[in-house]
Structure 1
């Protein structure tokens, strides 16, 4: 991101960014930034009187985490209300909705991660199974070839929805969103926005 520019140019570029652009970069797009750029971000955060944890989000994307650390951070997400139904008692986990839709010459395949309570995750996997079973077969040849695998993958994912510990999907989601989660780990309202399901 910083290749070809000296730090002065980069500092001037960051100074022109809005607060929301700076926060987006620091919490979601900071992987691979060199230390000098992190210092520029630190200065901008301080100058604008923004949440200092934003810098922690940038640093988080540039360090290694152990499985234990990722698991610990995922517990912050597990304790939130379900973003799909509002359930506040069930521990959240993750699943992948595997959906296939075909229209003879065109086939559409989607793998969509979702965070929610076990009941809602089961419903989402079931919706994908039904949708794929009804609409996945009609594309030639990819629909016919891929539809059974997408149905199977939903069944397989469904088996992980009710395990007691954070499942692989939730751990992957935590790692992929580590900058935001580190930034807002003590702000439940922001964490709710991170895990909110947005239908695509």
Structure 2
């Protein structure tokens, strides 16, 4: 493991944009002692002071009680997709396979939504996979595995997957919760963003 002084010397060689990227996207994965090096470098280079605010917020972990309360608050929000209140909302993994000759695209989306919107999204993904997933060598193997996984997950792992998706959403957005709060509008805005992203 590198010493703080070695890391400090390396950071001095980085460009301003590299330091900004570290602050915006990677600060959560840095050791505590390295965070102070990053913040010192931001100050020394006279970069945007909001970067330090973000680094502090991103690394101000939620307590177990805060996570538990936040999870309950999320589950009882209106659906961020259809805006209706159809009972609790859950976390879902939705995988689509599209392949053609040597090309195979296996995309998993994570959504937190009501069961009606999830059914539509899952049905759409299953139909695309059924009709467009088989047309390459790798697609020929990935498609049945994906369809089988979908059936098994639906029957046996719905709650486990939901908890994992919501827990990951909470862990990923710590900084946003600290800066924007955990009220309904802030949560719905973050959930809408999650539901549009593809991985």
TM-score bracket for the superposition, by shorter chain length:
0.5 to 0.7
Task: Pick from 159, 173, 176 the counterpart of residue 177 of structure 1.
Answer: 173
Q: Deviation digits for residues 128-167 of structure 1, max 9, x if unmatched?
A: 1111111111111x11111111112223343455x59952
In structure 1, C-alpha distance between the alignment counterparts of 2:99 and 2:72, rounded to whole Å: 38
Classify 1:71/1:85 alpha carbon distance in 2 versus 1 (closer, same or farther; 3 Å).
same
In structure 1, C-alpha distance between the alignment counterparts of 2:119 and 2:113, rounded to whole Å: 10
In structure 1, C-alpha distance between the alignment counterparts of 2:187 and 2:109, rounded to whole Å: 19
- Superposed, 1:106-185 pairs within 5 Å as 106-140=103-137, 142-159=138-155, 163=159, 167-185=163-181
Superposed CA RMSD:
4.0
Identify the structure with the greater helix proportion.
2
Classify 1:127/1:180 alpha carbon distance in 2 versus 1 (closer, same or farther; 3 Å).
same
Structure 2: segments with no counterpart, 5+ residues = none
Task: Pick from 190, 193, 198 the counterpart of residue 194 of structure 1.
Answer: 190
Structure 1: segments with no counterpart, 5+ residues = none
Contact kept in structure 2, 1:55 and 1:183, CA below 8 Å: no
In structure 1, C-alpha distance between the alignment counterparts of 2:70 and 2:111, rounded to whole Å: 17
Residue matched to 2:77? 80
State the shift of 1:73 in Å. Answer: 2.5
Classify 1:103/1:127 alpha carbon distance in 2 versus 1 (closer, same or farther; 3 Å).
same
Scaled by the length of structure 1, what TM-score is found? 0.68
Scaled by the length of structure 2, what TM-score is found? 0.68
